[in-house]
Structures are given as structure tokens and as C-alpha cells.
Amino acid sequence: MATIFTKIIRGEIPCYKIAENEMHIAFLDINPVAEGHTLVVPKKEVDYLFDLPDPLLSSTMLFAKKVALALDKALKPDRTGVVLDGREVPHAHVHLVPIYSDSQSVSLGKKIEISRERMQEIAKIVSAEVEL
Ligand code: 5GP
């Protein structure tokens, strides 16, 4: 069965899209831990990130870099952190978590509430800064 991320990639489930190319997609995490929390996903359906073929792992990280720099420009966090977990959705992905203060925990633990309007606005201003 297709993963939830494959359904997003196919357009069967909506997302707040940040960027996309032939091999990768980035969209806002639906349960964010910070404003701009983004998932970077290779379109190829592989469960474990470190099972990706080297070229795809590399290109996924380079795609993540472009998205992280766009998050930095648009949202002006101190920097953007990276979390790798992958135990909830069995489709390799990288979490990009903008860090706004020293006291912010960069983990997937504590979710925050963000309105649909703000999610739409974040997707719009961040995607405008992505340079593919
Ligand atoms: P992990 O597998 O790395 O533990 O976490 C998967 C992440 O995917 C979670 O942070 C969760 O909020 C996110 N997620 C799960 N389902 C959806 C979905 O349908 N849309 C989006 N945008 N994110 C999702």
C-alpha cells in the first residue's frame, strides 16, 4: 500500500507545498513543532533513509539545504535544525525545524498549534524563497 507521503506526491492528499522537483518534494509537517517545520521527501518509496542509494541520499540532503536556506530567509530563525526519525511514516524523510530561541527543544515531541491561514502564508513566503 502506498504511504501517506506517496499519496501526497501523487496529489491524492493535499499538502502545504514548499518545493518540488523530479525526485523530491518538501511540504509543511501537518503537526509542526515550530513555524516552518518542513518534511523533505524523496519521491522514491523507501522506508529507511539510510537504505536510499547514495546518489538519492545526497540529492535529498542537497534539496533539504535549498529548503533550509529558504526557511532561513523567509522566517528568520536563528538557524534551521535537522531531525531524522522515520518511525511514524515508513517513507524516508528529513525534518527541517527552524530554531527561534536557545530554549527551543529541537525534537519531535511538543507540537504547536498553527492556523490553516498561517500554514498557507508560511508555505507561500517560504516557497517564494526556494532557489532550485
Ligand atoms: P516520523 O516518521 O519522522 O516520526 O514522523 C512523520 C511526520 O510526518 C510527523 O511529524 C507527522 O506529523 C507527519 N505527517 C504524518 N502524516 C502527515 C500528513 O498527512 N501530512 C503532512 N504534511 N505531514 C504528515
Burial class (CB in 10 A: 0-12, 13-18, 19+), 75: middle
Average pLDDT over residues 29-36: 98
| 3-state secondary structure string across the chain | CCCHHHHHHCCCCCCCEEEECCCEEEEECCCCCCCCCEEEEECCCCCCHHHCCHHHHHHHHHHHHHHHHHHHHHHCCCEEEEECCCCCCCCCCEEEEEECCCCCCCCCCCCCCCCHHHHHHHHHHHHCCCCC
What CATH number did the domain enclosing 47 receive? Answer: 3.30.428.10
Q: How far is the CA of 10 from the centre of ligand 1 (A)?
A: 16
Model pTM?
Answer: 0.98
Q: How far is the CA of 91 from the centre of ligand 1 (A)?
A: 10
In a domain, 130, yes or no: no
In a domain, 88, yes or no: yes
pLDDT for the residue 76: 98
Average pLDDT over residues 65-73: 98
Q: How far is the CA of 36 from the centre of ligand 1 (A)?
A: 14
Domain count, the chain: 1
Atom of ligand 1 at shortest range from CA of 31 = 12
Average pLDDT over residues 51-63: 98
In a domain, 69, yes or no: yes
Atom of ligand 1 at shortest range from CA of 93 = 3
Average pLDDT over residues 69-90: 98
Average pLDDT over residues 86-97: 98
How would residue 60 be classed by pLDDT, with cut points 50, 70 and 90? Answer: very high
27 lines ligand 1 (CB under 6 A): yes
Each residue's pLDDT tens digit, 99-111: 999 999 899 989 9
Cα–Cα distance for residue pair 66/115, rounded to 1 Å: 25
In a domain, 132, yes or no: no
In a domain, 131, yes or no: no
Cα–Cα distance for residue pair 34/17, rounded to 1 Å: 16
Q: Which domain holds residue 43?
A: 4-125
In a domain, 112, yes or no: yes
